[in-house]
Structure 1
Amino acid sequence: MTTANDPIKSIQSRIDELEQTISDRGEQIKARTRQLKEDLQEELSPVEMLRRHPLEATGVSFVTGIVAGRVIRSLFSPKRQPAAVETTQARPQTFQANQPSPIAVAAGAIGAELLHTAKDLAITWLKSQVESKKRKG
């Protein structure tokens, strides 16, 4: 009777080995997937992108600020009407200061802030370049 059970035991032991192998491989795949996810998140993080491409990031933010300022200014600036020529009656000259609209003031403040940010990014990048050259030399 022991000879009849031997093939069944060997098959069962082989099944157990295969289940263990599958389980181990599954854990390896999960670990690799987690590592790949972490590597991708680190590689594509905004901080890492700024660190690797500081000049490009500064240029993009500068151009974006200029374009955004012009778009905002064109959307919210008062429309200018052509001056009508009055020949019958002359109006007295009065000086009225053109008061900028609150939106124009805000757009100017945003533009100034973007320029300050670009300047700060450039200075930070220069400092890091100088420090890295000091460490190498």
Structure 2
Amino acid sequence: MTKANDPLKSIQSRIDELEQTISERGEQIKSRTHQLKKDLQDELSPVELVKRHPVESAGISFVTGILAGRAVRGLISPRKPKAAKKKVTTGEPATKKATIPPELSPLKVALGSIGIELLNTGKDLAITWVKSRVESKTRKPA
């Protein structure tokens, strides 16, 4: 009867070994995940980015200052009214008035300009970051 139980014992021992291996691998994955998270936080922290790219950081600060100044100046200074032009087409009688689009408020204009500049700055930052990542990846194997 011991021979009949031997295959069952070997199967049970194999299952125990596999469970142990699975738990070890799970712990390894958890530790690697925590290490990767820590490395990413260190690499992408604002302080590290400024240390690695001081010129770009200064440029971003400069552009942000200019944009903020323009926005504040646009909100504070009085806006000069523009002369409304009447648009007359050749096929219509001169008595019809053309529709003139309403003027945008200075706040909307300033916010629109800031939004466009922020998008351009973000694009430039993303391109710079991708370039640095590609360069760092190509330097390591060499």
1:80, distance to aligned residue in structure 2 (A): 4.1
The residue aligned with 1:20 is 20
Distance 1:12 1:81, change over 3 A: closer
The residue aligned with 1:37 is 37
- For residues 33 and 51 of structure 2, what CA distance do their matches in structure 1 show? 26
Once the two structures are superposed, residues 69-120 of structure 1 have per-residue CA deviations (whole angstroms, 9 ceiling, x without a partner) of 11121122223469xxxxxxxxxxxxxxxxxxxxxxxxxxxxxxxxxxxxxx
SS in 1 for 2:79: coil
> Can you give the 5+ residue segments of structure 2 that lack an aligned partner in the other structure?
83-142
- For residues 81 and 31 of structure 1, what CA distance do their matches in structure 2 show? 65
1:67, distance to aligned residue in structure 2 (A): 1.1
1:68, distance to aligned residue in structure 2 (A): 1.1
The residue aligned with 1:118 is none
- For residues 18 and 81 of structure 1, what CA distance do their matches in structure 2 show? 80
Runs of 4+ in 1 over 3 A off after TM superposition: none
1:39, distance to aligned residue in structure 2 (A): 0.4
- For residues 14 and 81 of structure 1, what CA distance do their matches in structure 2 show? 86
TM-score when scaled to structure 2?
A: 0.55
Q: Which has the larger radius of gyration?
A: 1
> Can you give the 5+ residue segments of structure 1 that lack an aligned partner in the other structure?
83-137
SS in 2 for 1:79: coil
- For residues 6 and 76 of structure 1, what CA distance do their matches in structure 2 show? 90
CA RMSD for the aligned pairs?
A: 1.4
TM-score when scaled to structure 1?
A: 0.57
Moved more, 67-76 or 7-16: 67-76
The residue aligned with 1:2 is 2
Higher relative contact order (CA 8 A, sep 6+): 1
- For residues 19 and 66 of structure 1, what CA distance do their matches in structure 2 show? 62
1:63, distance to aligned residue in structure 2 (A): 1.1
SS in 2 for 1:27: helix
Correspondence 1:108-123 to 2 at 5 A: none
Distance 1:81 1:17, change over 3 A: closer
The residue aligned with 2:68 is 68
